[in-house]
Structure 1
Amino acid sequence: MLMDEFTVFLVSVLAIHCVLLFFDVVFKSCSHYPYLYFLNKTGLEVKPFQIQLFTTAFNRQIQKWGAKRPRLLAAWFNAGKYVTIVTMPMAVLLILHTTVTALRSSIHYTKSTVVVELLVPGWNLPTSDFAYYFVSLVISIVVHEMGHAVAAVREDVHLIGFSAVLFFVIPVMVTHIDPLDLLPYSRRLRIYCAGVWHNIFLALMAAVVATTLPWLLYPFFDFGTGVQVEHLIEGSPFVAEGGLILGDKIVQIDHCPVRGITSWQDCIDQAMRAPVTAGFCIPHNFIEEHDETIPAKHVSESQVECCGSNSPRHLCFEYVGTEDEPLPLPQHSCLLARKVVDLSAQTCHQVSDCPSSLHCFRPSLDNSSKLVLIRRTSGPVVLYLGNPADVYHSVTVTDFINIYKYLPSSLPDGLTKLCQYVTLLSSGLAILNVIPCFYFDGQYIMRAVTEMFAGKRIPSDTARQAVSLCITMLGTLMLVVYVLVMAINSY
């Protein structure tokens, strides 16, 4: 069995890690001076399945940011401190609720809506979105650590540098600062809470951008007036002559107006649910001039074939009349489908739907097939004979319609998806870091909060440390149980 692209990518990354580790061990064992000089100069370090880079290149810029507008920064990080403290119990309750809900659904074998879910490419995310996932994760981590760094500089704490680590394919970043033992706990909290606060703000901004993107891109992309064909599956019938073309603007399916992807899906669903294909109002003389009927035969209970095999563009149409009136025309007529569609401006399901001068004819098809009319702003109507679900699976469309052809239609969709991933991952990092758990910001936030709010009630420093430690242990246990439950519940 051939491996998919994502598996090939993971294997390639594993091979690169192994090669780098091999050369690192060889060069270090040989005391290869140029290689050792390179590692010392760049701050690069190679370890099993991880690559670490320490840098001070951004220290000067961070110092400038932390020194500008000190009152505004103090208000900013004070707001972050209070928002983070309020967020902590909410995050704990959210994780507990998700864990209990997932446990109930696994025990009773019922599906439930998961409030907080781990996002892992290839597990519960499409592997095709890995690039968006990786970039969004990097942005969220960088913004988080920049929050700690700027807050530390604002509190006159020395910034040592940054460590960027790539654990296999997962990026991690760490801010190195001097110890905070001499700072009051209120000032420590501003530094501890800055990362979570920046993640919350980033998630909100990304959500706002994703929501307002149609208006932000309006001078270049139209929105809400149809959908644009972005991709056609190779070998689909829509690629053939008379089918769709990349860039086509679709405005209607049958007589259902298309304004966006939601209405596009609704119109396809409506076509699938229709019991039969609608008929067409046709004049008497058109039938007489274009009828190419051969002796009719029943193909199935609902389908009659009256066209020859040499007429692939013709369809057998059945006359729709009443039982008590004589047939003014043949029961079945073989007509060119496109001419019928182009001629008829009105559809029908019964005789009364057509004017008195016209007759109602509908395609004679089996129950699973429909004649789907896809109308676009340029070019003739696209006729598709088959299951309407094939339209959804074969044609990829976008809400954004490029006004200028040189602008790729994938650009706004890519920006929207990136903003959505930033919203998810940045808010997820905020929730994860604010929980009182070892090695996360929540551990230090809980210690500082305990000292600030329990200092008078619990005079003993050892007792306050014990309270903080117990809460952190419970938070760590809760997070471990959550991860295990989510992992088990996914299978």
Structure 2
Amino acid sequence: MLNFVGHVAVFWLLVYVVDKCMSLPVIARRVRAVYGAAKEAAGISISPCYIKLYTTRFNWLFAKAEGSRVARIWFGCGTLFGVLLFFSSVMLLCVALYKGSVGKDDEQVLTPVMPGLNLPTSDVPYYLTTLIVSALFHEAGHALAAACEMVRINGWGMFLLLVYPGAYVELHPDHLALISAQRQLRIYCAGVWHNLVLALCGLAVFFLLPTLLLPFYSRGTGAVVLYLPEDSIFSEQLSPSTVISDVNMCPVFSTDDWFNCVQKQAHAPLTGYCMPTAILKQYHLYSYADTAALQEGGRGCCPDGTQSDLCFHMLSNSPIMNMSTPYLCLAARAVVTRQLCSHPRDCKGPAACVFPSIPSSSRLIRIRHNSHNRDILYLGEARGLYSTVVLGDYNPRSSYVPLLLPIIISTQLLYLVSLSGAFALLNVVPAYALDGQWVTIALVEAWLEPCIKSQKQRTLFCNCVLFMGTFLLAANVIVSIINLVINNR
């Protein structure tokens, strides 16, 4: 969190210092003139922690919607869904406030996204890109709906406030005041309607992604290694594009299979291996008294300096040397290729079931893959495998196809669906400074004018609704931040 804040502070300091320095007398007059003209032509203004861009270009694109019947039907549907979201958002915030207040963190509906705290710094580009795209689609909805209702568009722009980008559209206030409340409602609901459509389109593309990428990537062949963390213990055994196909004889065809197989190893009892009795008789047997106690219940019987050997204890229907549970020092890599067992009766022929004598929370896991290196033997907690490698489902059909492209696209789509959907839902809340403020006023004017004749009373009613909606939203944000800070201590 501190690292992220430091980078943001340095960025804004450089922007502000450079902007101020370009206006100093020590700078050549020609350079100052070019810099000022460029800012003015682009409509850029800079102040502390705030950059704004305003332009009248591309207004002709919005003007194409003037008088369009298709656009009127489109934004008519947007009004219907916008009004439904208006009431749904209030109910959702009430539920979210209740669950957040009683401490049901696992069921918390509203969670603030804070870079460096609950948003990984590696995901910040996805987050910022989603905010920019969502804001542009939102404001394009307002602009197109305004043009459809013959309201003049003065201009549009974008801004960056600290770390949050956004967009806005400036409509002619007199033109907006002259149209009916129903037509105003179409304009006010158009932004959240476009965000909702954007989220649904992102969701559709996400589910169709395997089909869209089929010419370039194959699936179902295993879990593909995307990259290895810097401290990964598999850095010498695995490399990007390696395909993992098996975890302790549990077949892996996808990342879901990988997680399921690892989870199975974590919860399943310790597994043994079938070893023929004829082979075991070639090894020296140790009694319990001859072994050394290890941490968390393990036993050691191998001489010092043996890197690849491991101590096993044996279960057999015919005890050898009159020992009920003798111990043997065996080559772990040769043992794990044998049939799995939990009791000697699971083995065929004269054989014993040998179990690694390791801590109770540890597992001996064999991982098979398609690289030229030998199969991986992992000794430790099964869940520790989650942090050793990052896997994906898409295997490139050619070396020219980017390995990380599917995960980049799918991650961006997930951010687009979640943030654009949340943007639509929260922006229509009846609260000050949101689209919900103007939706509330238009709804009251359109629906309650026959019941409440006085304009002053309608204004008072709107203010009461907006005050309660603002309080509800603020309470949710405060409770969510408190829960977030408590959970991340």
Q: What TM-score results when the alignment is normalised by the length of structure 2?
A: 0.88
Cα offsets for 1:347-367 (capped at 9, x unmatched)? 112111111144433333232
Query: Structure 1, residues 74-104: CA drift from partner, whole Å, max 9, x if none?
Result: 1110000111011101101111221222122
Aligned to 1:282: 275
Matched, 1:209 2:168: no
Offset, 1:482 = 2.3
Secondary structure of 1:181's counterpart equals helix
Q: Deviations over 1:201-255 (max 9, x none)?
A: 1111112222332232223223344311122233433223xx2232221122113
Q: Secondary structure at the match of 1:238?
A: coil
Q: Which residue of 2 aligns with 1:373?
A: 366
Aligned to 1:172: 166
Cα distance between partner residues in 1 of 2:478 and 2:229: 39
CA distance in 2, matches of 1:334, 1:407: 47
Q: Distance in 2 between matches of 1:103 and 1:360?
A: 54
Within 5 A, what are the aligned runs for 1:52-67?
Answer: 52-64=52-64, 66-67=65-66
Query: Structure 1 residues 210 and 310, CA, compared in 2 at 3 Å: closer, same or farther?
Result: same
Q: Does the CA-based 8 Å contact 2:285-2:326 persist in structure 1?
A: no
* 1:484 and 2:478 aligned: yes
DSSP 3-state at the match of 2:394: strand
Q: What are the within-5 Å matches in structure 2 for residues 82-161 of structure 1?
A: 82-105=80-103, 111-161=105-155
Kindly report the root-mean-square deviation, in angstroms, between the aligned alpha carbons of the 2 structures. 2.9
Task: Name the amino acid aligned to 1:95.
Answer: L
Determine the structure 2 residue equivalent to 1:194.
190
Does the aligned pair in 1 maintain the 2:316–2:351 contact within 8 Å? no
Q: Which residue of 1 aligns with 2:331?
A: 336
SS at the partner of 1:92?
helix
Please identify runs of 4+ aligned residues in structure 1 that moved more than 6 A: 27-31, 292-296, 323-330
Q: What letter matches 2:362 in structure 1?
A: S
Instruction: Show the 5 A alignment for 1:268-307.
Output: 268-276=262-270, 278-287=271-280, 291=283, 297-300=290-293, 303-307=298-302
AA aligned opposite 2:202: A
- Which secondary structure does the structure 1 equivalent of 2:96 belong to? helix
Alpha-carbon spacing, 1:129–1:154, altered in 2? closer, same or farther (3 Å): same
Q: Relative to structure 2, which stretch is displaced further, 435-444 or 322-331?
A: 322-331
- The residue aligned with 2:340 is 347
Pair 1:153–1:27, CA change in 2 (3 A):
farther
Contact 2:292 2:301 in 1 (8 A): no
Given candidates 70, 73, 80, the residue that maps to 2:71 is: 73
Alignment partner for residue 380 of structure 2, among 386, 392, 396? 386
Q: Distance in 2 between matches of 1:27 and 1:222?
A: 62
Matches of 1:111 and 1:96, distance apart in 2: 15
Post-superposition offset of 1:144: 0.1
Structure 1, 126-135 or 267-276: larger mean CA deviation: 267-276
String of CA shifts for 1:272-324, please: whole Å, max 9, x gaps.
23332x222233454467x4889993122754434333431223333321377
Aligned-pair CA distance for 1:422: 1.1
Contact 2:181 2:442 in 1 (8 A): yes
Between the aligned partners of 2:25 and 2:207, the Cα distance in structure 1 is 52
SS in 2 for 1:122: coil
What code does the residue aligned with 1:149 have? A
List alignment gaps of at least 5 residues for structure 1: none
Structure 2: distance between partners of 1:252 and 1:28: 68
Contact 2:138–2:194 (CA<8 Å) still a contact in 1? yes
With over 3 angstroms needed to count, the CA separation of the structure-2 counterparts of 1:16 and 1:317, relative to structure 1, is same
Residue pair 1:315, 1:335 contacting (<8 A) in 2 also:
yes
Paired residues of 2:286 and 2:326 also in contact (CA < 8 A): no
The aligned amino acid for 1:209 is V
Q: Is the 8 A contact 2:315 2:324 kept in 1?
A: no
Q: Determine the C-alpha separation between the residues in 2 that align with 1:178 and 1:258.
A: 60
Q: Give CA deviations for 1:96-149 in whole Å, capped at 9, x if unaligned.
A: 2212221222xxxx6441112222212322222111110001110000001111
- Per mean C-alpha deviation after superposition, the further-off stretch among 165-174 and 406-415 is 406-415
Runs (5+) with no aligned partner, structure 2: none
How many residues are matched?
477
1:408 aligns with: 402
Q: Which residue of 1 aligns with 2:354?
A: 361
Contact 1:232 1:396 in 2 (8 A): yes
1:14 maps to what in 2?
12
**Hey, what does 2:315 align to over in structure 1?**
320
Q: Which moved more, 1:229-238 or 1:112-121?
A: 229-238
Q: Distance in 2 between matches of 1:18 and 1:42?
A: 18
Say whether the 8 Å CA contact 2:16–2:47 is kept in structure 1: no
TM-score under structure 1 length normalisation = 0.88
Alignment match of 2:252 (pick from 243, 252, 258): 258
> How far apart are residue 25 of structure 1 and its match?
6.1
What does residue range 224-239 of structure 1 map to in structure 2 within 5 Å? 224-239=220-235
- Provide the C-alpha distance between the structure 1 equivalents of 2:480 and 2:299, rounded to a whole number of angstroms: 54
